[in-house]
Structure 1
Amino acid sequence: MKVISKAFGIHPLTTEDICMEETREKVELFRTYYLVCFRSFAIQPHMSARERRTRQGSEAARRRSNFGRKGDLVPVNMYLVVFRDGVLSFHFQPTPHPANVRRRIRQLRDYVSVSADWISYAIIDNVTDAFAPLISEIEDEVQAIDTEILEMHSDMLRRIGECRKQVMSIMRLLGFKADVIKGFAKRCNEQWEVAPRSEIGLYLGDIQDHIITMVQNLTHYEKLLARSHSNYLAQINIEMTAVNNETNDVLGRLTILGTIVLPMNIITGLWGMNVLVPGQEAEGLSWFYSITLGLIIFGLGCYFAAKKVYGIAV
């Protein structure tokens, strides 16, 4: 980096920002160039808890059958040092944006005037366009969740959490891009010596519109997910309340049944082998029938009393 800075006359502040991997997105004008800090992303495969703790092991992604199976979004800082005659780009992780821009230049070199300012715009535009497929996936997942929320799938809460996590990750990456592009486009119209020409400012305005639209869509999706989350939890509470009511009803019936049967057990339990049973010396089964009939009448009386007082049908 020291050799590159000396060869191209890069200011020490720019060198420090690049070496320290400055995360704030910004545009800074210097005497012979301007610096653009812009954040892209890379998809990091999911790892097990043990691999996350030790930071070792395979980079293979865990199998997932739902949204977010590819992995987590990891910010990738890109730094563009734009001279009048060329562009230096710096990034500390592999990223496809420079190769995509070179492919775009080969396709459009007969139709547009390719300058250093246009290359910087093309890289920023490619970084912005990379978010579009992710937002499209989020839109499909949000619509699926909103449709299936009332069907009570067992993994619905995890799907909502995963989708909200993805939305917040993208919103964090897109957060300040609109302000950076707005300030960048403004300087294009102020006739700074090293700033891009006004024609590039029109392209930058188009990028700003895309970013604002993406952020607005993500905000809308977050509201839908929050509503789906609340609806799902409310439905769980309703079902748990219904289950608790059924359990309380069964316990109430068992309690009443035990209350009715317990006195009968006390009465019949006193007549063991060593206790004189009423009517034991009498002939016939009249005493037995009388005692049995009395227990039946007692049980029926308790049943109707419970039904009248508590409204419970045993």
Structure 2
Amino acid sequence: MSRYFKKQKPPKAATADIPAHTPAQSHCPTRLFVTRIHDGRCEQKEAESAADCAPRQGDDFIWVCVQGMAHASQIEEICNLFRIHHLNIEDILNTDHITKLDIFDEYTFLIMKSMTHPAEGDPHARQLSFVLGKDFLLSFLEGEEDLFLPLRKRMLKEFPFFMAMGTGYLAYSLMDMAVDRHFEVLEYIDDEIYKLEEETTTTSTQENLGRIQTLRRKVIMVRRAAWPLRDVINTLHRRDNFIRGEKTGIYLNDIYDHVLQVVDTTETFREVLSNIFDIYLTSAGNRTNEIMKVLTMIATIVMPMTVITGIYGMNFKHMPELRWIFGYPMSLTLLVLVGAGMLWYFKKHDWL
């Protein structure tokens, strides 16, 4: 149970002025990337402190991309600059939080799960939080990988398009990149399942059983990351918020379709892994049957030999063969003939 469920510990101290937080499980250094649009220009830079992330007069829009959750105090300071509620700050800093959506008059707050790239090693889930207001976006991504670098480069070139589409389109782009990462992980799992299936049909080893269980856990992890997004997107469609605008509704439908595809794919993988597990059990059973077959053959061949040697091992006084000069060679010959006859009989009936 402990592998699939982690109980949320209550914060030790939480006040309206000093929000409590739990240390992030990732100790990657916190990096701050600021994108500002003002006076018809788009500027991007990596900030050195939280003060550099503060909104300025004349900004049409500002996006603060926080990469890495190690410096909790710095993250709290950034959130306070944009008047984020202290309970939402706690949720941002608690990287084990479940998928969540809060809609306020001032901003929309969303927590979802992204996945690490398979090229970095064993894929695992990481938390992505973002706060979207009328003219600002704060994104907080756990881990070291800069997932949104391509988006920042694109925004630098196409910022008039982003402004024309509205701030909700940028939030959609973040969600879309996070969901698309699920497909990369599923492709990685698909390759691993194919290799495992090929090996299991030929050889059934204890190592294959461990790999089956590992892939099952990965599929469950992806499913748990994607499944809650269905309810999140449905809620975004039903209620007024800063993500769903006049031009972004159709894009949310696109994410919804991707989420359904991810969930359906995980269900398919679970069925395939169950079939592979059945193949493993069948192969292991067949191997055990083969071993028992060989042992039974040996016992059957040895049984009449044991009877013959038992008869002549009784040591009665009046046994003519005991004093016969050819008694010993003939008994050995008889044992060989019996064994050879049994082998011939088994071969004839294709039991060997």
Both structures adopt the same fold (TM-score exceeding 0.5): yes
Relative distance call for 1:107 and 1:211 in structure 2 (3 A) is: farther
Aligned: 1:135 with 2:186: yes
- Residues in 2 aligned to 1:2 and 1:141: alpha-carbon distance in whole angstroms: 41
- Residues in 2 aligned to 1:130 and 1:229: alpha-carbon distance in whole angstroms: 27
Question: Which amino acid in structure 2 is aligned with residue 13 of structure 1?
Answer: L
Structure 2 counterpart of 1:239, from 287, 308, 317: 287
Relative distance call for 1:22 and 1:33 in structure 2 (3 A) is: farther
- Tell me the secondary structure at the aligned position of residue 260 of structure 2: helix
Structure 2 counterpart of 1:224, from 272, 276, 279: 272
* Displacement after TM superposition at 1:21 (Å): 4.0
Q: Does structure 1 retain, via aligned residues, the 8 Å contact 2:227–2:259?
A: no
- Residues in 2 aligned to 1:36 and 1:92: alpha-carbon distance in whole angstroms: 14
Structure 2 counterpart of 1:174, from 204, 220, 226: 226
Relative distance call for 1:17 and 1:209 in structure 2 (3 A) is: same
Q: Which residue of 1 aligns with 2:108?
A: 34
Relative distance call for 1:253 and 1:98 in structure 2 (3 A) is: same
- Tell me the secondary structure at the aligned position of residue 31 of structure 1: coil
Aligned: 1:109 with 2:159: yes
Alignment of 1:57-96 (within 5 A): 71-96=121-146
Question: Which amino acid in structure 2 is aligned with residue 233 of structure 1?
Answer: L
Alignment of 1:141-156 (within 5 A): 141-152=192-203, 154=205, 155-156=207-208
- Residues in 1 aligned to 2:220 and 2:213: alpha-carbon distance in whole angstroms: 11
Q: Which residue of 2 aligns with 1:50?
A: none
Aligned: 1:250 with 2:320: no
Q: Which residue of 2 aligns with 1:210?
A: 258
Question: Which amino acid in structure 1 is aligned with residue 307 of structure 2?
Answer: T
Q: Does structure 2 retain, via aligned residues, the 8 Å contact 1:29–1:195?
A: no
- Residues in 1 aligned to 2:77 and 2:187: alpha-carbon distance in whole angstroms: 43
Structure 1 counterpart of 2:87, from 5, 8, 13: 13
Task: After superposition, give the CA deviation of every residue in 1:240-280 in whole Å (9 maximum; x if it has no partner).
Answer: 11211210220232232122012224449x69xxxxx98xx
- Residues in 2 aligned to 1:31 and 1:69: alpha-carbon distance in whole angstroms: 41
Higher strand share: 2
Q: Does structure 1 retain, via aligned residues, the 8 Å contact 2:165–2:247?
A: no
- Tell me the secondary structure at the aligned position of residue 94 of structure 1: coil
* Displacement after TM superposition at 1:41 (Å): 2.8
Question: Which amino acid in structure 2 is aligned with residue 182 of structure 1?
Answer: N
Relative distance call for 1:109 and 1:245 in structure 2 (3 A) is: same
- Residues in 2 aligned to 1:104 and 1:312: alpha-carbon distance in whole angstroms: 75
* Displacement after TM superposition at 1:165 (Å): 2.6
Question: Which amino acid in structure 1 is aligned with residue 220 of structure 2?
Answer: M
- Tell me the secondary structure at the aligned position of residue 221 of structure 1: helix
How many pairs are equivalent?
264
- Residues in 2 aligned to 1:146 and 1:170: alpha-carbon distance in whole angstroms: 20
- Residues in 1 aligned to 2:285 and 2:120: alpha-carbon distance in whole angstroms: 32
Q: Which residue of 2 aligns with 1:62?
A: none
* TM-score w.r.t. length of structure 2: 0.64
Q: Which residue of 1 aligns with 2:17?
A: none
Q: Which residue of 1 aligns with 2:3?
A: none
Relative distance call for 1:193 and 1:186 in structure 2 (3 A) is: closer
- Residues in 2 aligned to 1:265 and 1:245: alpha-carbon distance in whole angstroms: 30
* Displacement after TM superposition at 1:232 (Å): 1.6
* Displacement after TM superposition at 1:111 (Å): 4.6
Relative distance call for 1:107 and 1:217 in structure 2 (3 A) is: farther
- Residues in 2 aligned to 1:136 and 1:212: alpha-carbon distance in whole angstroms: 16
After TM superposition, what 4+ stretches of structure 1 lie above 4 angstroms from structure 2?
none
* Displacement after TM superposition at 1:226 (Å): 0.5
Q: Which residue of 2 aligns with 1:46?
A: none
* Displacement after TM superposition at 1:161 (Å): 2.9
Task: After superposition, give the CA deviation of every residue in 1:127-166 in whole Å (9 maximum; x if it has no partner).
Answer: 0111111111222332343344321154433432332232
- Residues in 2 aligned to 1:135 and 1:74: alpha-carbon distance in whole angstroms: 12
Structure 1 counterpart of 2:97, from 14, 17, 23: 23
Flag structure 2 segments of 5+ consecutive residues without an equivalent: 1-74, 348-352
Alignment of 1:242-281 (within 5 A): 242-267=290-315
Q: Does structure 1 retain, via aligned residues, the 8 Å contact 2:109–2:130?
A: yes
- Residues in 2 aligned to 1:149 and 1:220: alpha-carbon distance in whole angstroms: 18
- Tell me the secondary structure at the aligned position of residue 198 of structure 1: coil
- Cα RMSD over matched residues? 3.6
Report which of the two structures shows the higher radius of gyration computed on alpha carbons.
1
